[in-house]
């Protein structure tokens, strides 16, 4: 029920229609009306963008256009450089036909997967810096390269080794070059002879823990004494990534408060023992910031310590020459002792060889 003095429903409907009509007139912008007239009728024209906004929008549009142009240009440039699969196959066939004992293939750049696929089972290496690599006992190196590396890497190798210019070939965008390496006279390779090593952990009890559990590629150690914080260790031939390159190594991670010792009996010695090593990338990724304690590798020969080598937690594969000239021409026991003050995530690996 409506109260006294209330207007009839018909009047209220008409009033509402009048209000809606007035709002419609205010919202409709008559042509030719000035801004003052429009504001007077309740219409506000859209605000004009500031100069800063216009500059920002223009810069964004220009960036999008330039990015598109650059993307197209890079795509076209890449297509001009990419060798077809047939070129890789021809190059691999040429290498395979002349490949001999003591030969090795080097691939550049390192990420050229098509080269590895085409070469198949031929022994190959693909480090990021091929020209600085140590090639051990290999006698010849075949460089299979593309993307400009035939000149860049090949010329550096030519400056370091002798090149067989007659063997140089080009297969479209793939280049093949061959180099005569100067392999050292290796008397003993500790990596190859890991099965001959005596492995034990010292310093965790009254007597050393012998690691005499034979594994397919090395030795397994028993559980440490009760109360020790050391974990079970393995000393094995393994493939780990050091820096950015996969490398075959003797994996010998240090033990907490212990010394991991590898002893080789009756090793023929020359002027030096060449040692390579580092901490694998998988461990470095988990180290805390500021943790810079190194892994130490002591090299003993003939009952005396010949070197104490430091391997800090850095993405590198380091090399050292340990002087054994005083023992050249003789046989002696050689021992490698691995230790570290802090052992967390220190996935240490090394290789060593006695050279004439």
The per-residue DSSP string of 311-350 comes to: E-SSS--EEEEEE-GGGTTSEEEEEEEEEES--TT--EEE
Least confident of 56-60, 101-105, 130-134, 280-284: 56-60
Q: Give residues with Cβ within 8 angstroms of 143, minimum separation 6.
A: 105, 106, 108, 130, 150, 153, 154, 157, 175, 176, 177, 178, 179
Most confident of 2-11, 147-156, 294-303: 294-303
- pLDDT the model gives residue 13: 46
Whether residue 231 has pLDDT greater than 60: no
Predicted pLDDT at 227: 60
Lowest mean pLDDT among 61-65, 143-147, 234-238, 278-282: 61-65
In a 10 Å sphere around its CB, with 0-12 CB exposed, 13-18 middle and 19+ buried, how is residue 236 labelled?
A: middle
CA distance 118 to 341: 46
Boundaries of every domain in the chain: 85-183, 187-355
Is residue 296 exposed (0-12), middle (13-18) or buried (19+ Cβ within 10 Å)? Answer: middle
The bridge status of strand 331-340 relative to strand 218-220 is: unpaired
Contacts of 186 (CB under 8 A, 6+ apart): 136, 137, 353, 354, 355, 356
pLDDT class for 114, splitting at 50, 70, 90?
Answer: very high
* 187-355: CATH topology: Jelly Rolls (2.60.120)
Q: For 184-225, how does the pLDDT look when each residue is reduced to its tens digit (9 = 90+)?
A: 899 999 999 999 999 999 987 788 989 988 888 999 887 765
Name the pTM for this structure: 0.70
pLDDT confidence band for 344 (50 / 70 / 90) = confident
Closest CA to 249 of 335, 353, 352, 350: 350
143: tokens are 């460089």
Nearest to 91 by CA among 171, 160, 172: 171
Q: Which residue has the higher pLDDT, 35 or 263?
A: 263
- Give the pLDDT band (50/70/90) at residue 1: very low
Residue 22 has pLDDT above 50, yes or no: no
Place of tokens 């007659």: 166
């Amino acid at each position: 029920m409506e109260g006294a003095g209330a207007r009839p429903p018909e009047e209220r409907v008409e009033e509402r229609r009048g209000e809606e009509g007035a709002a419609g007139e205010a919202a409709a912008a008559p042509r030719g009306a000035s801004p003052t007239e429009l504001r007077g009728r309740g219409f506000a024209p859209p605000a004009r963008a500031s100069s800063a906004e216009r500059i920002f929008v223009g810069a964004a549009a220009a960036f999008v256009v330039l990015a598109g142009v650059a993307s197209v240009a890079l795509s076209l440039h890449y297509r001009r450089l990419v060798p077809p699969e047939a070129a890789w196959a021809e190059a691999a066939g040429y290498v395979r036909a002349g490949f001999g004992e003591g030969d090795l293939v080097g691939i550049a750049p390192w990420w050229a997967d098509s080269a590895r696929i085409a070469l198949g089972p031929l022994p190959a290496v693909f480090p990021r810096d091929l020209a600085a690599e140590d090639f051990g006992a290999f006698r010849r190196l075949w460089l299979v390269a593309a993307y400009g590396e035939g000149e860049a890497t090949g010329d550096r190798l030519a400056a370091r080794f002798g090149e067989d210019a007659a063997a140089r070939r080009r297969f479209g965008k793939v280049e093949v070059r061959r180099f005569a390496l100067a392999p050292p006279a290796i008397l003993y390779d500790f990596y190859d002879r890991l099965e001959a090593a005596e492995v034990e952990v010292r310093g965790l009890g009254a007597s050393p823990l012998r690691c005499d559990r034979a594994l397919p590629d090395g030795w397994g150690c028993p559980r440490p004494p009760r109360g020790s914080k050391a974990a079970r260790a393995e000393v094995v031939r393994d493939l780990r990534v050091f820096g950015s390159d996969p490398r075959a190594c003797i994996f010998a991670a240090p033990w907490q408060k212990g010394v991991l010792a590898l002893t080789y009996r009756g090793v023929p010695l020359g002027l030096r023992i060449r040692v390579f090593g580092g901490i694998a990338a998988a461990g470095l990724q988990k180290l805390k910031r500021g943790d810079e304690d190194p892994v130490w590798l002591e090299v003993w020969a003939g009952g005396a310590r010949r070197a104490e080598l430091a391997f800090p937690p850095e993405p590198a594969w380091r090399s050292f020459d340990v002087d054994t000239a005083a023992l050249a021409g003789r046989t002696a026991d050689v021992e490698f002792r691995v230790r570290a003050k802090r052992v967390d995530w220190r996935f240490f690996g090394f290789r060593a060889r006695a050279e004439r």
